[in-house]
Amino acid sequence: MVTAAYVHIPFCEHICHYCDFNKVFLKNQPVDEYIKALLKEMKRAMKDTPASSLKTVYIGGGTPTALTAVQLNTLLKGMKEVLPLNNIEEYTIEVNPDSIQEEKLAVIKENGVNRLSIGVQTFNESLLKEIGRTHTKSSVEDAIRRSRQAGFTNISLDLMFGLPGQHPVQFIETINEAINLNIEHISAYSLKVEEKTVFYNRQRQGKLTLPPEEDEVIMYEQLLKRTKEAELFQYEISNFAKKGYESKHNLVYWNNEEYYGFGAGAHGYVNGIRYQNHGPIPKYLKAIEQGALPTLHSHKVSPVERIEEAMFMGLRKREGVNIDHFEQRYGRSLLDSFAPQIELLKERGLVVIHDGAIQLTEEGLLLGNEVFEQFIAVLES
């Protein structure tokens, strides 16, 4: 049963140097037409593969708050008409500190959104310029103040470390700034230089200087230390929350559960099929205009692939992969299926069996990718 939906808004007022998500400059784009097409896609999906009740919705981008208040209202009201949102538990929208005004916050709040994810990345002014962000430390503080005044009690900040020229002290200062704002949730990710980004081109030209690996390790260890002291509990490799404020939507992904993906370039997972929509907006709009779902390609996930996904996504959670739940869901023993891999990882001190689950150790958190690859392409179909 599908209980979650991701909605993609590809428009940005400025393109960040590290971003490889499907996005376009906002100026001269057919935004109103896109919103209409998005609602048509949702309506068709509900007809083809209906859901009785969505528990979580996440609107990401791009920059959703690049839309005007009127456009946001059209989108959110339209979603209430075509999606089963009466019992929604967590409704998130991504927010850019530069584009979140009182009028937009009021529209978002009135339409049932109850969680904001604010893209901060760093509080260091020079690093913000280096990564192509246009906001400032004070604009973040102002965005949070206005969000609180609008009635939002569940706010997450996105942070990044391992940025070009970043020193561990700078990241520690950013962590402290975030904690001092008394927000409910922090997501903190290490920079990955992806193709089709400004940073990728600079790296190819030898013009991108990244921190040494040992500095990244220090940054991550300080992240764990400071969030723990502030009672923001780590529930996933890169995510920290006050008790009860863990992201329910992201847990859908890490628990290998199904979800709709709506919008240009969006990914979804419904009825055992993973799919991706057309990314270019003209192709997305054309597919909708022709009366079809805008699917670019799809893949039926095999039983073995489901198991592999369950392991490398589930192990991201601090609670790990529950052994009994695994057998109930997939009809086979976790310990028998991966006996050699688990034994090897235990010997290396990267995983433990605790509370009926396989979990990463503190060392395993630092070497997560080495753990995950042990569970890929080792089972027979």
Tens of pLDDT, residues 204-252: 898 888 999 999 999 999 999 999 999 999 999 999 999 999 999 999 9
pLDDT tens sequence across 46-91: 999 999 999 999 999 989 999 999 999 999 999 999 999 999 999 9
Whether residues 52 and 192 share a domain: the answer is: yes
Range of the structural domain that residue 107 is part of: 4-254
Is a pLDDT exceeding 80 seen at residue 24? Answer: no
CATH label of the domain that carries residue 321: 1.10.10.920
CA atoms within 13 Å, Cβ hemisphere of 201: 6
Pairing of strands 239-241, 185-190: antiparallel
Q: How would residue 339 be classed by pLDDT, with cut points 50, 70 and 90?
A: very high
Let me know if 67 is exposed, middle or buried by CB neighbors in 10 A (0-12, 13-18, 19+). Answer: buried
Assess if residue 220 is contained within a domain: yes
Q: How would residue 198 be classed by pLDDT, with cut points 50, 70 and 90?
A: confident
CATH label of the domain that carries residue 32: 3.80.30.20
Is a pLDDT exceeding 70 seen at residue 20? Answer: no
Whether residues 92 and 237 share a domain: the answer is: yes
Assess if residue 211 is contained within a domain: yes
**Which of 100, 105, 185, 110 is closest to 142 using CA atoms?**
100
Q: How far is CA 368 from the centre of its chain?
A: 18
Whether residues 155 and 217 share a domain: the answer is: yes
CB 330 within 8 A of CB 272: no
Assess if residue 278 is contained within a domain: no
Assess if residue 188 is contained within a domain: yes
User: Quick one: angle between helices 69-82 and 102-110, nearest 10?
Assistant: 10
Whether residues 137 and 242 share a domain: the answer is: yes
Assess if residue 289 is contained within a domain: no
- Number of domains making up the chain: 2
Q: How would residue 25 be classed by pLDDT, with cut points 50, 70 and 90?
A: low
pLDDT for the residue numbered 21: 66
Mean pLDDT of the 169-184 span: 97
Tell me the C-alpha to C-alpha distance, in Å, between residue 26 and each of 34, 133, 296, 324. Answer: 12, 16, 23, 48
Q: How would residue 12 be classed by pLDDT, with cut points 50, 70 and 90?
A: confident
For the chain, give the percent of residues with pLDDT over 90. Answer: 85
Is a pLDDT exceeding 80 seen at residue 43? Answer: yes
pLDDT for the residue numbered 22: 63
Q: Which two tokens stand for residue 257?
A: 């559960």
Assess if residue 22 is contained within a domain: yes
Eight-class DSSP state of 245: -
pLDDT tens sequence across 267-290: 999 999 999 999 999 999 999 999
d(CA 366, CA 350) in angstroms, rounded, equals 9
pLDDT for the residue numbered 199: 83
Whether residues 245 and 311 share a domain: the answer is: no
pLDDT for the residue numbered 257: 97
**Which of 142, 121, 139 is closest to 190 using CA atoms?**
121
Q: Which of 28-32, 199-203, 317-321 has the highest mean predicted lDDT (pLDDT)? A: 317-321
Domain boundary among the residues 195, 220, 254 is at 254
Domain boundary among the residues 197, 227, 254 is at 254
Report the mean per-residue pLDDT for the chain: 94
Is a pLDDT exceeding 70 seen at residue 23? Answer: no
Is a pLDDT exceeding 90 seen at residue 132? Answer: no
Whether residues 44 and 102 share a domain: the answer is: yes
Whether residues 119 and 222 share a domain: the answer is: yes
pLDDT for the residue numbered 99: 80
Assess if residue 340 is contained within a domain: yes
**Which of 72, 66, 126, 68 is closest to 97 using CA atoms?**
66
Mean pLDDT of the 193-205 span: 84
d(CA 101, CA 68) in angstroms, rounded, equals 10
Assess if residue 274 is contained within a domain: no
Q: Which two tokens stand for residue 269?
A: 């997972």
